[in-house]
Amino acid sequence: MEKSKAMKRDSIATARLLSEALPNIQRHDGAIIVIKLGGHAMSSPEAMKSFARDMVMLRQCNIKPVIVHGGGPMINAMLEKLEIPTEFVNGKRISTPETVDVVEMVLSGKVNKSIVSAINGQGGRAVGLSGKDANLLVCEQAAGDLGMVGDPVAVNAKVVFSLIESGFIPVIAPLGTGKNGETFNVNGDTAAGAIAGGLKANRLLLLTDVSGVKDADGDVLTNLSAEQVSDLTDKGVISGGMIPKTQTALDAINDGVRAVVIMDGRMANACLLELFTDYGAGSMIRA
């Protein structure tokens, strides 16, 4: 008797919650949302399952998620196993041709397919590809002595639009192709920003392991304009590892993305919290 009363109470709360989400679900109807899933956010099978469930939920609500993933920690582990030394400069891995082979194997082979499987396991229809497929991400060699690290110079988004229109959830590994068919290693955030720009996405969600952009007192700034971001960077309030993320955000906005959210991807149901509740999550940057 007690059990059924509690169950009724929970069910009523769930029904109310679903009803309250309606205006937010309607607001995003048909929207293309690019989501960068970093390697750190994929730490456990539970986190992966919860993320996959959220993606299927979005698609079920006629919101079109496009996932661009990282996998830095998984690449590190494989390089270590193969006894290949590795080094980063300003958040980018120095990439010899040998390193790029391992990066491609790990990202396109293992990581990409495990995300695809997780989504399909929740009843979604995900398709994995990399920035090399259909020349999605054309790159030039990045400045500095980073080897085969690529900077995107063109995005051929047609293949992604085709997948979206056919009801699939694209899952993209951050590799790029050069003008002469070379394979480039692209930073996951950079790839996500470029692809969001190429798709003119409604939103780019950068799932990270921090709660957002913080002010000088360490409080998260929930709403920021591009101008404020530049100003805070000049003043040194935005610094270190946050700079590549805010720079990605500014570039994406410049390319026509409506809003970028930098948020903690380790929270359960982070994407639903951001899109379906009035609370939102992390820091939203707009033009």
List CB contacts of 53: < 8 A, sequence separation 6 or more: 122
Which residues line the annotated binding site for substrate?
A: 71-72, 93, 185
Least Å distance, CB 107 to ligand X2W, is: 6
CA dist list (Å): 123 to 32, 54, 171: 20, 11, 15
Pick the closer one to ligand X2W by CB: 39 or 128: 39
Pick the closer one to ligand X2W by CB: 99 or 202: 99
Least Å distance, CB 115 to ligand X2W, is: 12
Least Å distance, CB 103 to ligand X2W, is: 5
Least Å distance, CB 46 to ligand X2W, is: 18
Pick the closer one to ligand X2W by CB: 61 or 72: 72
What's the full length of the chain, in residues?
287
Pick the closer one to ligand X2W by CB: 187 or 248: 187
Least Å distance, CB 93 to ligand X2W, is: 4
Pick the closer one to ligand X2W by CB: 61 or 192: 192
List residues near ligand X2W by CB under 6 A: 38-39, 70-72, 75, 92-93, 103, 149, 174, 185-188
Pick the closer one to ligand X2W by CB: 52 or 61: 52
Least Å distance, CB 102 to ligand X2W, is: 9
Longest dimension (CA), the chain: 71
Which residues line the annotated binding site?
A: 71-72, 93, 185
